[in-house]
Structures are given as C-alpha cells and as structure tokens.
Structure 1
C-alpha cells in the first residue's frame, strides 16, 4: 500500500466534494439573485404584487408560482428555481377563467401588449451564471490543491 493513500481517498471523498458543493451553492445563489434583481428592474412598476413575487428558492417554487427557469448542478444534487407570481398575482378574465399575471405580462394577450421581463433576463444571464459557477468550483478545487 502506498503511504498516504488512505488519507488521499478520505480527502477525495469528504473534503473535496464538500468544498466544491459549497462553492457551487454560493455561486448558484449569487447568480440566481443577480437574475432576480434584473427581472425586478424590467417588470412594470405598476405591478407591485408581481414585482414582490419574483424570486428564487432551493427546490420547488411557492404554490401558484410560475416556474420559468432553474439552475441545476445534477452531479451535486443542487437545484435553484427562479419563479414569478403566486396566488396573489392571479387575475380573472371576463369569462371567469383565472390566469397568472406573470404569464400575461411576459407574453401579452390579443388585447394587451407583452412586457417581457423574465425570459429575456434569464436567457441573457444564463451563460454568465454558469460561467460564475464553473469559476467558483475551479477556484475551490485549486484552493484545496494548494493547501
């Protein structure tokens, strides 16, 4: 048996994954917050409840929310969901059918112009956030190797 092999295996099983997972988690949270803040800047200002409903969470979004995008790290079991809308942002049309106001704002209707605030930001920031996550993971691995 090579000297230090057992310590190296223990390091690879415990230290490296925890450090990398923590770095990925922090980067994902930072990226999600960055996306949410930009979305809030684009939502129509007269839509206060919708503005307040935009957010992110680990796992599933709140009841009634529209899940539009997520940041995943399946190999680490991490998933952040970015959402808009909740039960307070539901609207009813003339026929009594309920709709999520976030969808109406994002895509519009035949009588209402679209005010895209969600997909445009998500698409424009997705690559930058993935890059941030990768950089943070690489930095964590490098810090472990240097230590």
Structure 2
C-alpha cells in the first residue's frame, strides 16, 4: 500500500535549506562572540610603559588575534578555540607571535629560579601572574554559547516557517 505525503517536496526543500541558514547564523554569532572575547582580552592585557623583551609598549595586547578555520596561529603562546571541528565554524583566539613569545609567562606568572646564560649564577625572583586571556574567556563563554544557541534556533524556525 503506497502512501502519499502532501507537501513532501516543500518539506525536502526546507530540510536542504536548513544547514545553509543555520550555518550562516552560527558563523555570525560565533564571530560576534569572538570579537567580544578578543576585545576584553585586549583591554585586560597588561601594557608596560617601556615595553618588554625589546618590543614596543602594547606588543602583547596587539598579538591577540582571531584565526578562522581552526588553524593554530604560528608562535602563539596561548590559544583557545570554539567550534565543532568544522573549519568554517571554528575560530581560534591566540596571544603571542614570533616577537611576543611570553604571553603564557604573563598569564600564569613564573616562580623564582636560577638564571642561566649571560646572568648565570644569579637568581630570578619570579613574576606574579597577570591573567588577561582566560578570565575574559570564562567571563563571556556562557553569553557566547547562549547567543549561538539562540541564532541556531531562530534560523531553524525561520527555515521551517517558510
């Protein structure tokens, strides 16, 4: 016994359109969230008045970047990513580059230790942690996840309502 489904073609068209609409909405929400996190990280990053390690003031702040596609930024010291493994829906935020290789030392601090090299025999007193990277992520992750969920649901309802 064969059954006929009314509106089958229309339903199939909606199902094919769903991924495109939803992916677009997710990418837009993810981009907005990544911008918010990056902006907060840059505001929280300490800026030395004289610069450090031969870099100008603000080099650490300026090294915080977003990389789309899930590729790791080269020479980054700290990184966090969001996305489901899909290159189009994956963004990685990182701090550090070829000139700024100390982001992790600023974020977590260092313990006292003996120096080597040119200053061998002297003791380094250590540095206190100045967290800027992960506090911003932790402060905004719930908001970003909610925004992505809302965008996904809204896009799915929009496609289903056509």
TM-score w.r.t. length of structure 1: 0.84
What is the alpha-carbon distance in structure 2 between the residues aligned to residue 67 and residue 45 of structure 1?
17
- The CA deviation string for residues 101-141 of structure 1, in whole angstroms up to 9 with x for no partner, is 11011000121111100111111211111011001111112
State the 4+ residue runs in structure 1 displaced beyond 4 angstroms.
Answer: 74-77
Aligned residues: 136
What is the alpha-carbon distance in structure 2 between the residues aligned to residue 19 and residue 146 of structure 1?
12
What is the alpha-carbon distance in structure 1 between the residues aligned to residue 61 and residue 74 of structure 2?
17
Higher helix share: 1
Aligned equivalent of 2:83 = 72
Asked if the contact 1:61/1:67 (under 8 Å) is kept, the reply is: no
- The CA deviation string for residues 51-108 of structure 1, in whole angstroms up to 9 with x for no partner, is 1110211121321013421111347962111111011102xxxxxxxxxx11011000
Asked if the contact 2:78/2:103 (under 8 Å) is kept, the reply is: no
Aligned equivalent of 2:27 = 25
Aligned equivalent of 1:37 = 39
What is the alpha-carbon distance in structure 2 between the residues aligned to residue 112 and residue 131 of structure 1?
37
Asked if the contact 1:67/1:81 (under 8 Å) is kept, the reply is: no
Aligned equivalent of 1:11 = 14
CA drift of 1:4 comes to 2.4
Which stretches in structure 1 are left out of the alignment for 5+ residues?
A: 91-100
Higher strand share: 1
What is the alpha-carbon distance in structure 2 between the residues aligned to residue 140 and residue 113 of structure 1?
46
TM-score w.r.t. length of structure 2: 0.77
**Do structure 1's residue 62 and structure 2's residue 73 form an aligned pair?**
yes
* CA-atom RMSD in angstroms: 1.8
Cα pair distance change 1:43/1:87, threshold 3 Å = same
Name which one, 1 or 2, has greater alpha-carbon Rg: 2
**Which of 104, 110, 124 lines up with 2:139 in the alignment?**
124
